[in-house]
Structure 1
Amino acid sequence: MIQRQHVVNDFFAEAEAMRSAYDLKVKDPYRQTVSWQYFCAPQMYTYLRTVPQQVIPEPLFARFMQHMKQWCIEHVGLLPMGVPNLHLMVNGCTLGLHSDFQNGTLGYVYSLTRWQTRKFAGGETLLLRDGIPSYKKHHVQGESLYELVPAQFNQLLLFDDRIVHGTQTIEGSMDPLEGRIAFVGHLRPTSPVVKGALDAAAARRVILDLQRDLAGQLKDREDCKDVQGTVTFRLEVGASGQVESVTVLIDHLVTAAAGYAASAPVDEVRRIVQQGIAALKFPDGAGKSTVTAAVLVPLPDLRPIEIAVPHAGRAAMLREVLRAQLKELEAQGFQIEQAGDEFLMREPLAGTIRIEATRIVAAFDPPMWVPSQREHFQANLRDSLGMLARAGG
């Protein structure tokens, strides 16, 4: 089970190929064609970034993302949200202290930095420790307040996105071959992932009923109101629909006062959640299945996401445009298929997009995301559907 943070060494078998592709792309300053964004917020952030496909061949990067997705579902029950940024940090670059709870459940840093032979100081990921230093302590400094995680080559670092974190200022070379090079992104819960004999839609309904039941149980519990965080779990379900085993993948339940330290309110919420999970009953199936799902505490809005946008174009043409747009998501490992007039999406959220005669209709399962994440998804979805409608004339 993963809680606050986790490091995976030797993460991707083709890391050397990705680093070689990067080196080849940037080593000749007269032929470099990478479009870097110089991201500078004075006294906070200074670094260069681009999309990985600018320097990594598409097929190679697609294999990385597929490996990343499969590893994340299996080990943490979460999915990458879109494509990560590729960060390049050279002399003077820094990431000031911040938190990313609006971006994801876990943040990740995948390093292509030649850390053992680096020619710079700094570059470690700084993770602030839990707790408030006591005024009674005579002297508190350095790593009693934070932890420094080196960006070792081919290392995946995962950490709770609520943790205040940053990157130590780089002091050294300006050469892009000698900088700190890393993919940076975020993971979030997906709709329940079902493998085996169970009908996926029926299994998702069972999990949604669990989430609604937990929301009701926790709503009026004053002793639990300060508990927050995400629990993901994998269920082994027998042919009878009974849960045979439960594996907790991540447990991020905390209180603001105690952090990850032992806490009676956290223990009580954990008991309620685990009791609800163990009592689940799925429909009978033709064989065994696994279900991977998440619970966010406090429980978020459990209404489905539903958006309808009018259009005046030809439905057939709009379907072709939408199919081309969704191909880009498929290349990143998302699961999408067409069924008649509908496009079915299973990841990162289960839902449908349907082109009707006069409108485009999208409907998605309620996500286990904090409100700002849901609002951002809805706004982007509405904008995307609006652009699609205008493309149809």
Structure 2
Amino acid sequence: MIKRQHIVSDFFGEAEAMRTAFDARVKDSYKQTVNWQYFCAPQMYTYLRTVPQQVIPEPLFGRFMQHMKQWCIDNLGLIPTGAPNLHLMVNGCTLGLHSDFHNGTWGFVYSLTRWQNRKFSGGETLLMRDGVPSYKKHHVHGEVLYELVPAHFNQLLLFDDRIVHGTQTIEGSMDPIEGRIALVGHLRATSPLVTGPLDAAAARKVILECQRRLGEQAREHKDVQGTITFRLAVAASGAVESVAVLTDNLVTALAGYDASAEVTAVKAMVQQAVAKLVFPSSSGKSTVVAAVLVPLPDFRPIEIVVPHAGRPARLQESFKARLKDSEALGFVVDLEGNLESNTFVVREPIAGTIRIEANRIVAAFDPPMWVPSQRDQFEAGLSENLEFLAKYGG
């Protein structure tokens, strides 16, 4: 089970190929065509970033993301929130202290930095420790207050997105080859994931009802916050054979990750509830991966309706064309869905459908296990994309 933070060394088998591709793209200043964004918020952030495909070939980056996604599902019960940014930090670059709970449940930093041969100082990820130092102590400084995590090559660093964190200021070369290079992104829950013959839609309904019941029971533990994910082994009969907790960042503001009777009670409540679930019977054993956010979020499904004056067939073709850039849309659509009824089945970041009707586009999604700001951000982006489609796609 992963809590608070975690490091995976030698994460990806093709890390050298990724780094070689980066070097080839930036080593010749006269030929470099990378579209870098100089991201500078004075006294807070200074660094360069771009989309990874600017420097890493699409097939190679696709293999990395597939590996990243599967690893996260298997070990965390979470998925990436789209593609990460590629960060480049050279002399003077820094990330000031901040937290990211609006962006995800976990943050990650995957390093392509030649750390052992670096020609700069700084560049470590700084993670603040839990707790407040006692004023009675005579002298408190440095790593009593925080932890510094070096950005070793091919290392994946995961940490609770609520932890106050930053990156130590780089002092050294301005050469991008000698800089701190990393893929930076976030992870969060998706709709329950089913592997095996168990009907996925039916399984999601069972999990949703369980989450609703837990929402009522958890109200008395209002100080507990965080996400717990679990993997259920489900028999052909529909009974739960075992429960494995994958990640657990349930905390209280007062205790942080220290022992807490309230946190213990909520964990026990969740595990007991999911262990007693009964799914529909199927032809064999299945696995279900799901998450519970505490406090439990809004259980209303996401529903967005956008009117249009175009032709449904043209809108469908336009939408299919835009699906080639699924990261820009913010979701992944199953093209094997029922296209004859103009319905697209959405798999990520949450399960749902997008249906193109005679005079309107209707989107319907499962209620997500996200904090309100994450839900609001997704709804706003989805509305913007559908309004664009309605206006220009038909």
Shorter-chain TM-score bucket reads over 0.9
Note the alpha carbon deviations across 1:327-366, whole angstroms, 9 max, x for none. Answer: 3228999452331311001222100001001000000000
* CA distance in 2 between partners of 1:328 and 1:44 (Å): 31
Structure 1 residue aligned with 2:365: 364
Contact 2:77 2:289 in 1 (8 A): yes
* CA distance in 1 between partners of 2:393 and 2:234 (Å): 45
1:260 to 220, 245, 257: 257
Task: For residue 30 of structure 1, give the secondary structure of its aligned residue in structure 2.
Answer: coil
The answer to whether the aligner puts 1:309 opposite 2:306 as a matched pair is yes
Structure 1 residue aligned with 2:72: 72
Structure 2 residue aligned with 1:286: 283
Alignment of 1:75-154 (within 5 A): 75-154=75-154
Task: For residue 121 of structure 1, give the secondary structure of its aligned residue in structure 2.
Answer: coil
2:267 to 266, 270, 278: 270
Structure 2 residue aligned with 1:245: 242
The answer to whether the aligner puts 1:234 opposite 2:194 as a matched pair is no
- Give the letter aligned to residue 284 of structure 2: G
CA drift at 1:104: 0.1
Task: For residue 113 of structure 1, give the secondary structure of its aligned residue in structure 2.
Answer: coil
Contact 1:300 1:370 in 2 (8 A): yes
* CA distance in 2 between partners of 1:153 and 1:99 (Å): 24
* CA distance in 2 between partners of 1:330 and 1:47 (Å): 22
* CA distance in 1 between partners of 2:160 and 2:118 (Å): 27
1:336 to 298, 318, 334: 334
Contact 1:311 1:392 in 2 (8 A): no
Alignment of 1:42-57 (within 5 A): 42-57=42-57
In the TM superposition, structure 1's runs of 4+ consecutive aligned residues that sit over 3 Å from their partners are 330-335
Contact 1:326 1:336 in 2 (8 A): no
Task: For residue 153 of structure 1, give the secondary structure of its aligned residue in structure 2.
Answer: coil
Contact 1:255 1:266 in 2 (8 A): yes
325-334 or 38-47, which deviates more: 325-334
Contact 1:69 1:333 in 2 (8 A): no
Note the alpha carbon deviations across 1:134-155, whole angstroms, 9 max, x for none. Answer: 1111111100100010000000
Task: For residue 348 of structure 2, give the secondary structure of its aligned residue in structure 1.
Answer: coil
- Give the letter aligned to residue 174 of structure 2: M
Note the alpha carbon deviations across 1:354-390, whole angstroms, 9 max, x for none. Answer: 1001000000000000000000100110010000001
Q: Closer, same or farther in 2 for the Cα pair 1:10/1:94, shift >3 Å?
A: same
Contact 1:115 1:152 in 2 (8 A): yes
Where does the alignment leave 5 or more consecutive residues of structure 1 unmatched?
A: none
* CA distance in 2 between partners of 1:134 and 1:275 (Å): 38
Task: For residue 88 of structure 1, give the secondary structure of its aligned residue in structure 2.
Answer: strand
Contact 1:66 1:333 in 2 (8 A): no
Task: For residue 7 of structure 1, give the secondary structure of its aligned residue in structure 2.
Answer: strand
Q: Would you say how many aligned residue pairs link Structure 1 and Structure 2?
A: 390
- Give the letter aligned to residue 49 of structure 1: R
- Give the letter aligned to residue 58 of structure 2: E
- Give the letter aligned to residue 48 of structure 1: L
Where does the alignment leave 5 or more consecutive residues of structure 2 unmatched?
A: none
The answer to whether the aligner puts 1:345 opposite 2:346 as a matched pair is yes
Contact 1:65 1:333 in 2 (8 A): no
CA drift at 1:321: 1.0
CA drift at 1:218: 1.8
133-142 or 323-332, which deviates more: 323-332
Note the alpha carbon deviations across 1:149-169, whole angstroms, 9 max, x for none. Answer: 000000000000000000000
* CA distance in 2 between partners of 1:330 and 1:56 (Å): 16
CA drift at 1:255: 0.2
* CA distance in 2 between partners of 1:5 and 1:335 (Å): 31
* CA distance in 1 between partners of 2:224 and 2:308 (Å): 44
109-118 or 210-219, which deviates more: 210-219
The answer to whether the aligner puts 1:390 opposite 2:388 as a matched pair is no
Contact 2:331 2:347 in 1 (8 A): no
Contact 1:76 1:249 in 2 (8 A): yes
- Give the letter aligned to residue 155 of structure 1: Q
> Aligned Cα RMSD in Å?
1.3
Q: Closer, same or farther in 2 for the Cα pair 1:107/1:325, shift >3 Å?
A: same
Contact 1:125 1:149 in 2 (8 A): yes
* CA distance in 2 between partners of 1:28 and 1:346 (Å): 41
- Give the letter aligned to residue 151 of structure 1: A
- Give the letter aligned to residue 370 of structure 2: W
Alignment of 1:195-206 (within 5 A): 195-206=195-206
Structure 2 residue aligned with 1:297: 294
Q: Closer, same or farther in 2 for the Cα pair 1:131/1:229, shift >3 Å?
A: same
CA drift at 1:20: 0.4
Structure 1 residue aligned with 2:36: 36
- Give the letter aligned to residue 36 of structure 1: W
Note the alpha carbon deviations across 1:66-118, whole angstroms, 9 max, x for none. Answer: 11111111110101111111000000000000000000000000000000000
- Give the letter aligned to residue 124 of structure 1: E
- Give the letter aligned to residue 359 of structure 2: T
Contact 1:330 1:336 in 2 (8 A): no
Contact 2:195 2:286 in 1 (8 A): yes
* CA distance in 2 between partners of 1:145 and 1:206 (Å): 44
CA drift at 1:197: 1.1
CA drift at 1:271: 1.2
